[in-house]
């Protein structure tokens, strides 16, 4: 039986990130996510002797967490070679042999390009010590919805068909189940929408290139983008997604995942029927009982 082709080309993802870093990485979005990650971690009242940075495009997150003093040591699994002693690796194949040694695992803007996200989450959970924390922010399905719509309409008009130009990303409704399947306790998922405004669509495309976020689909069209299609997409974008001042909106949806490696000390849901107090008493309300009506067979 033949395996289906992967959605993303991991080697191309790494080359795009390496090119972006050589040319001057556009870090505004990563900086925002790193700041939010730090704020979320601040709500956890504990320190972490050993942390893992999983695939974040720049060492920004590792550096910021070390500066807080909450994390004593970080091991960074980087997408490309970089100074500072980080390891180069793939989030889908963690090089730790299932060893549960980390107190914390974090990732920023990296896991959206993972082909086997359930498998990657399972490996992360196994790499954590019992009661270790996983916290990650990745691009979600609403990201670049404006650009996706503009290209689909432009290609349909100019070429009689459409090909994927913007990658499909994960949906919020799926991620809680994936965390549970991977064995995480107390899973939490939520979304944050960031709107960036541009003078024209080409400025957005330059930023995407400078973040390594251009098309890395395995089954992407290899032929160069036709100029007529590009110009029509730019016109549609300006027509449909401009604000009253003429600037254009670009949506980046950040999906946040958190979960804990199971431990006996963690809170567990009560069994149904095991409550020792009535809800009516807690609310100070009268309790009303209604007879159960049985329908005739």
CA-closest candidate to residue 68, choices 88, 85, 44, 90: 44
Q: What is the mean pLDDT of residues 31-59?
A: 95
Give the pLDDT score at 31: 97
CA distances 14 to 55, 223, 270, Å, are: 10, 21, 46
Name the DSSP letter for residue 285: -
Q: Is the pLDDT of residue 149 over 50?
A: yes
Sorted by sequence, the CB contacts under 8 Å of residue 191 that are 6+ apart come out as: 140, 172, 253, 254, 255, 256
Q: Is the pLDDT of residue 297 over 50?
A: no
Q: Which two tokens stand for residue 20?
A: 């972006």
Domains recognised in the chain with CATH numbers = 10-143+167-195+251-264 (3.40.50.150)
Q: Which two tokens stand for residue 138?
A: 């990745």
Residue positions counted in the chain: 297
Task: Please write the tens of the pLDDT for every residue from 258-278.
Answer: 999 998 877 665 565 555 666
Mean pLDDT of the chain: 87
Q: What secondary structure, in 3-state letters, does 148-193 show?
A: HHHHHHHHHHHHCCCCCCCCCCECHHHHHHHHHHCCCEEEEEEEEE
């Amino acid at each position: 039986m033949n395996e289906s082709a992967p959605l993303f080309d991991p080697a191309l993802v790494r080359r795009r990130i390496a090119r972006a870093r050589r040319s001057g990485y556009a870090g505004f979005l990563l900086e925002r996510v790193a700041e939010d990650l730090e704020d979320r971690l601040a709500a956890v009242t504990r320190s972490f002797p050993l942390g893992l940075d999983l695939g974040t495009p720049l060492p920004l997150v590792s550096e910021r967490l070390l500066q807080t003093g909450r994390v004593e040591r970080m091991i960074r699994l980087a997408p490309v070679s970089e100074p500072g002693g980080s390891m180069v690796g793939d989030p889908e194949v963690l090089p730790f042999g299932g060893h549960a040694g980390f107190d914390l695992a974090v990732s920023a803007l990296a896991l959206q390009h993972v082909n086997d996200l359930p498998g990657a989450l399972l490996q992360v959970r196994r790499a954590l010590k019992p009661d270790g924390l996983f916290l990650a922010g990745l691009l979600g399905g609403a990201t670049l919805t404006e650009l996706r719509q503009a290209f689909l309409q432009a290609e349909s008009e100019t070429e009689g068909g459409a090909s994927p130009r913007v990658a499909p990303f994960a949906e919020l409704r799926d991620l809680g189940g994936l965390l549970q399947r991977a064995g995480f306790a107390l899973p939490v998922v939520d979304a944050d929408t960031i709107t960036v405004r541009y003078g024209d669509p080409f400025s957005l495309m330059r930023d995407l290139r400078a973040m390594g976020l251009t098309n890395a689909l395995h089954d992407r069209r290899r032929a160069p983008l036709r100029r007529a299609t590009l110009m029509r997409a730019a016109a549609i974008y300006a027509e449909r997604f401009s604000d009253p001042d003429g600037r254009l909106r670009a949506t980046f949806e950040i999906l946040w995942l958190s979960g804990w490696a199971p431990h006996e000390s963690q809170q567990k849901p009560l069994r149904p029927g095991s409550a020792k107090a009535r809800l009516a008493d807690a609310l100070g309300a009268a309790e009303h009982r209604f007879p159960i009506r049985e329908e005739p067979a």
